[in-house]
């Protein structure tokens, strides 16, 4: 009788958890629908929902932390994998060569000022390195969503925005291992070895991917798309996990795998991964909010606002640099507005640092920056219209 009662209790707990998780996804779907209806990014809404349901929120949620952790990790990996589908190695190389000046200006106007401000505020060298990355990297996910929603996907503005985003994403390959080495307190030699491995892996994949296709994948894309989906999904998760264990970024590893898959293969996978990416990326953003106390975010709002203003100014300056030769004076403003939001990579950086150090308020400040810059970008895109649009 006792064992039956225990089994019933366990079954009840599992079913209640399923109900709770189901209602959570329904809530995320409603928020995504609201964002779609008002033509805004859903990311700030997911983050704010996480705050409301997290520690110190309006209605704290008791969902398995392990489930959310794994879901968030898969979400980050899928975000970068699908982003990798958008580019080929040859396109990346050409883009980086063409926009090298813009990438350097991006570092000078965003990474360096953020590092200086962090150091002035007392976050030390580790904080300066973390904030440099957080404020340097734009959100490819939010930017691509805004470009798609505004109908400028084929425009020259979108091409120039993408070239800058690609440069930033590629620089994450050496940056994240450096950051991990610093936060883990590794020796100079261990840090150098970690960075060398990261650079070697990135360069090797570039050289392999240029002008080549992996044998057999094109046939699978047309005859066995389900098989291809399982193989790529499994390989990506395994590679990301192994990369993280080796001191390399799992997210960047996923991006590089996506970059290997081009043409018809990438097109087939992109359409099939899109729903999975939406589900798990929503979990990723929600969990980031759940892991933070709303009270703590309020306490650091002035600092988050300072970084947001600095970050928006830096990205608008990069937009001017990239689009200064365009005839429509609103073009460079649009480029800057598309680049302004911070998102998935910024939060990955913050989570990495917080997991390895006791750096206070980093996740809270990053959440504030992501929400503020995403809202600015959404409103600015509506305002920065040409005379013809008006």
pLDDT tens digits for range 124-183: 888 999 999 999 999 877 887 788 777 766 678 888 888 888 788 778 777 877 787 777
Provide the pLDDT for residue 390.
44
72 near 50, Cβ under 8 Å? no
The arithmetic mean of pLDDT across residues 371-388, rounded, is 78
CA distance 125 to 290: 28
User: How many angstroms separate the Cα of 154 from the Cα of each of 147, 151, 158, 159, 237?
Assistant: 9, 8, 7, 7, 32
End-to-end CA distance of the chain: 75
For the chain, the average pLDDT equals 78
135 near 110, Cβ under 8 Å? yes
CA distance 105 to 317: 9
Pick the CATH number of 39-383 from 1.20.1530.20, 3.40.50.1220, 3.40.50.300, 1.10.287.610: 1.20.1530.20
CA distance 178 to 181: 5
The arithmetic mean of pLDDT across residues 217-234, rounded, is 70
CA distance 246 to 197: 9
**Which of the residue ranges 140-144, 211-215, 342-346 has the most confident prediction, judged by mean pLDDT?**
342-346
**Which of the residue ranges 48-57, 105-114, 234-243 has the most confident prediction, judged by mean pLDDT?**
105-114
282 near 46, Cβ under 8 Å? yes
Q: Which residue has the higher pLDDT, 209 or 253?
A: 253
140 near 252, Cβ under 8 Å? no
CA distance 225 to 222: 6
Residue 107: pLDDT band (50, 70, 90) is very high
User: How many angstroms separate the Cα of 292 from the Cα of each of 26, 270, 363?
Assistant: 22, 32, 7
Q: Which residue has the higher pLDDT, 124 or 69?
A: 124
Work out the number of other CB atoms within 10 angstroms of the CB of residue 330: 19
- Who's near 37: CB < 8 A, 6+ residues apart? none
356 near 180, Cβ under 8 Å? yes
pLDDT at 6 over 60: no
CA triple 341-84-143, angle to 5 deg: 20
Residue 387: pLDDT band (50, 70, 90) is very low
CA triple 222-224-228, angle to 5 deg: 100
Provide the pLDDT for residue 60.
67
**Which of the residue ranges 87-91, 333-337, 355-359 has the most confident prediction, judged by mean pLDDT?**
333-337
CA triple 40-46-50, angle to 5 deg: 150
Residue 247: pLDDT band (50, 70, 90) is low
């Amino acid at each position: 009788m006792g064992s039956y009662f225990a089994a019933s209790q366990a079954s009840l707990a599992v079913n209640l958890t399923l109900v709770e998780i189901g209602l959570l996804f329904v809530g995320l779907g409603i928020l995504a629908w609201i964002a779609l209806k008002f033509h805004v990014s859903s990311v700030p809404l997911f983050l704010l929902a996480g705050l409301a349901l997290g520690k110190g929120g309006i209605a704290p949620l008791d969902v398995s932390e392990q489930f959310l952790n794994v879901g968030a990790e898969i979400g980050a990996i899928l975000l970068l994998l699908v982003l990798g589908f958008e580019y080929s190695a040859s396109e990346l190389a050409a883009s980086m060569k063409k926009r090298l000046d813009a990438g350097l200006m991006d570092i000078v106007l965003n990474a360096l000022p953020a590092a200086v401000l962090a150091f002035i505020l007392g976050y030390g060298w580790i904080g300066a390195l973390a904030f440099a990355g957080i404020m340097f990297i734009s959100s490819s996910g939010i930017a691509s969503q805004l470009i798609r929603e505004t109908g400028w996907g084929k425009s020259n503005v979108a091409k120039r925005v993408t070239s800058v985003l690609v440069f930033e994403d590629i620089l994450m390959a050496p940056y994240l291992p450096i950051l991990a080495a610093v936060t883990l307190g590794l020796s100079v030699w261990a840090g150098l070895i970690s960075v060398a491995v990261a650079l070697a892996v990135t360069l090797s994949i570039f050289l392999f991917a240029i002008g080549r296709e992996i044998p057999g994948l094109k046939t699978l894309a047309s005859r066995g798309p389900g098989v291809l989906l399982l193989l790529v999904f499994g390989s990506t998760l395994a590679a990301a996990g192994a990369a993280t264990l080796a001191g390399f970024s799992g997210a960047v590893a996923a991006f590089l795998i996506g970059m290997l898959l081009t043409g018809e293969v990438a097109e087939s996978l992109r359409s099939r991964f899109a729903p999975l990416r939406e589900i798990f990326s929503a979990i990723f953003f929600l969990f980031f909010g759940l892991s933070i106390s709303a009270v703590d975010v309020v306490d650091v709002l002035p600092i988050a606002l300072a970084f947001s203003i600095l970050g928006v100014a830096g990205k608008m300056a990069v937009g001017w640099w990239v689009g200064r030769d365009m005839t429509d004076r609103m073009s460079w403003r649009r480029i800057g507005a598309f680049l302004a939001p911070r998102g998935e990579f910024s939060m990955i950086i913050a989570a990495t640092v917080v997991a390895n150090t006791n750096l206070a308020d980093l996740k809270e400040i990053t959440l504030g920056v992501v929400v503020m810059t995403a809202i600015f970008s959404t409103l600015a895109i509506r305002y920065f219209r040409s005379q013809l649009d008006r």
